[in-house]
Structure 1
Amino acid sequence: MKKLFWTFICFALFLVSCTERQAKYRIGISQCSEDIWRDKQNYELRMGTYFHNNVELKFAAAHDNDERQVQQIDSLVNEGIDLLIVAPNQVQTISPAIDRTFDKGIPVIVSERKTNSRKYTAFIGADNYEMGRVMGEYIISCLHGRGTVLEIKGLEGSSPAIERHNGFIDALKNAPQIKLVASLQGDWTENTGYETTRQWLANHQDEHVDLVFGANDRTAMGARKALGNGVRYCGIDGLQGEGGGIQLVRDSLLEASYIYPTHGDQLIDLAVKILEGQPYEKETMMMSALVTRDNAKVLLMQNEELMRQTHRLDQIHQKADSYLRELNTQYVINWLAAGVIVLLLVVIVLSYLQHLRKLAIQRERVTNTIWNMEPITSVEEQQTHEDVDKEEETNASPVEGTFISHFREVVETRLGDSDLSVDDLASAMNLSRVQLYRKVKAMTGSSPVELLRTARLNRAYQILLTTDKSVSEVAYAVGFTAPSYFTKCFKEAYGMVPGDVRK
């Protein structure tokens, strides 16, 4: 019965394992920094896993530190990822880590920022050169082809900073009457934009600035803190939400911005295609758009509605996950065939009934007469067998019922006497040792020694069930001279040690 029970348990687990048909992919995300743009992309990456529940994401952010990003990439690889998505902090410094990852057979998706390594599986991002060029043309139009412009670049050595600057400079070549008073080095942060502009202004107090072009919106807002309201400001990123570029343009804090799409969900789709061997584009350029006061309000309304719906979808997904976890057991059972479920329940019931039967038998053994127990051999019994051949049978047997009752009485009266022997029992019954052996054996199928030991064990069982005496105290109380020997005999008789009775 027990073997059949565990057979069906294993079968059930096998069926459950079959429900997990999809492979589990671990994708490492190496972000060069941590900011609101990347927070949005990371959120979209997590949202993408709602449609690919066979994907697990592992995030790391380097906070614009090349050495840290290299260490993080190596760590992700050592943890056993199946694919790496990386936004390199700088063009050159992160390349060796990307090369090592690719050489180990791990696919690499380079996202948003480029690297000089050619060892990557796919690239996905927007055209930063085009952003810089279009923004340059818009600035020329905004200034009517005449004026002064201050540029604050992005992080030195990063591909977006290089390409946005190049596109911007190329656009200004078509407007000779627009003067670029300076190209200051920034690092994408608002604080650096402020400090860099403030220091430049301290050394160029006589220089007039009509417009500031920041490599991103935060840089432009930093410059605004330093220069004030008398200057126009343009940036790039065009994030929606509170404090994002679209809102800043709508509120006239920025003259214009340029949407750089995050599209984390698109990144996940690409990653899964690569992992599952589906066709994919090696180079994917995402669409982007200029944000001005003419379209900022509409774009903001659309984005706010999109974010609201996205947030609701996220809440629904979380509730669904919670509900599914609660019903996980039911989910497993649904994969079992109806016949298997019924049979499994039958096996459980039968096993439980068998367990109850064993308990009933044990209780019956406690209350049963000492004459129905299985024989236990001993040295004394062997000696009795030898004496049987030497002595002649004498005296006729009394009536069976009277004899058994008398013998039971003698045994129970002296049960706690550890010195009690078969000779003592025979003397109390007015029989010789051999006569007692033969009569008891014929009537019960057991020897006097067996019955004495069985009676002691039965009494011990009752004491263990009804008192809190220790095993040693019980052993001495029923005539055993050593607790260890009592434990041995008890286990042989009941299949468990005395301490298990109370359990």
Structure 2
Amino acid sequence: QEQRDQLIALSRQLEEATHAKLAFFTSVSHDFRTPLTLIADPINQLLEEKHLGEREKNMLEIVRKNVAVLLRLITQILDFQKYEHGKLALRLSEFNALECIKDWTEAFHTLAFRKHIQFEVKAEGDAAQYVMVADAEKIERITYNLLSNAFKFTPEKGEIKVVLSRIEKDGQPCLCMEVSDTGIGMSEEHVHHVFERFYQIDVQHTGSGLGLALVEAFVQLHKGTVQVESEKGKGTCFRVVLPMKQEGEVKEVIEKNESLKNLQEGAVLDAGQETLHQWVENVEVDGTVDKEVVLVIDDNQDVRDYVKMLLQDKYTVIEAVNGQEGIRQAMKYVPDVVVCDVMMPVMDGIECCKRLKSELQTSHIPVLMLTAYAMDEQRIQGYDSGADSYLTKPFNSKLLLARIRNLIDNRKRLKSFTEDATAVGGKQQLGEVDKGFVEKLKSLIEEKMGNSDLSVEDLGAELGLGRVQLYRKTKSLTGYAPNELLRIARLKKAASLLASSEKTVAEITYEVGFSSPSYFTRCYKDYFGESPSEFLKRRDGKN
């Protein structure tokens, strides 16, 4: 009896806490609507101005789209609060569910194309069978929330289907809508909690935890049912069953208003924030490019677009949608600096940074972490993984540019040499991986410099790096391209032989790996300011 009373009290406390949380969100949401409205309308008016440049239009478009996302979230909170207090009512109209659902899902076809997802909407039987009396707006919201969820958790090359059918349940005709995907799926534990308020599968996927709770609320208002089947790693299927005819007064069909348009756009944008891959095409990142290269890793496309807009005048910008893709891009292009979000699906920023700092090709690259949380614990975790700097969202654009510039400049300061141009001085604060790389490169050059056919590709093959990777890493660490290091090493070895041996200029030329005495003489004079013969005369005291 005592345990039962404790459980009842605990349940009551939990319910009160949830109501308090919802009341707080509702109060804040009301406060947000006014400033958001005052942002949204001026933005729309500014976008209609003809004198705006392309850069300004792009920045305003980012603002407009994310205002739509915020308005959708606020509307969901307010609707759920109404439902909790029994004040959310159905606004009935007669409409063809099949035609409307095809119309509502049209916006997702563009998203499916961008995400390389196979998406289809199909129905059993004739369209005439799908005329129903219900709240069209709420069924539209059910459709959008389920599809937003499906696209959020389905990776590229996956499949998403919406299948409609008319069935009999408890002696009355019903609309059955199944939304299935081949996404990451859920464990049995998550399936049991998926319709709970504020429930999130993990911290790596953004969301309020209200979308599916609202789906269940809208379905229950229609006296219908919603079920979910899911298997981790294989996908999820939501099955919604709604009576074809609701009891009550049928009002005329109302045209979509602007707020509903914002809700629809917000749902599509929200779905597109996860796992969307911005393919990097025709990116010229080579040894001949003057611009420094910045890799931006973030699962939010708008953040990537905005950072790219800020950087593209001064830097070559490449992008990745998660840590795993970021590592591939970093190893392929060897950027000068990485800007990486902390919270991402597939692989988060902490693990990505740790991997970048442990790989030979990328260990030298400075990493700037972006985080939505200002917690010291997360910062410590990031620095422990090798992060070089942190910025908290929302960040100041000038501060971002200054941090990136400082990280690149600090790396350049490590490019000082001691007397030997092929060796990095002990004063440099390089990591163990980078010290090992420089020492191995130095040894290889000293060992093989006598081979006149030795190429950058040969050095790269010995080190396990491609030509571009070797060029960018060597240039970043030493300030010299690999072929420059090789030439300087040959010239210094030649100078040592000229000073300490009786060998001729021709003999020394071939011993240090130059292909002809004339080319050796020209390089020697360019580097030391005098020709080999002039040095020999000076050495022997001849005028």
TM-score by length of 2: 0.20
Structure with bigger RCO (C-alpha 8 Å, 6+ apart) = 1
Which protein has the larger Cα radius of gyration, Structure 1 or Structure 2? 1
TM-score by length of 1: 0.22
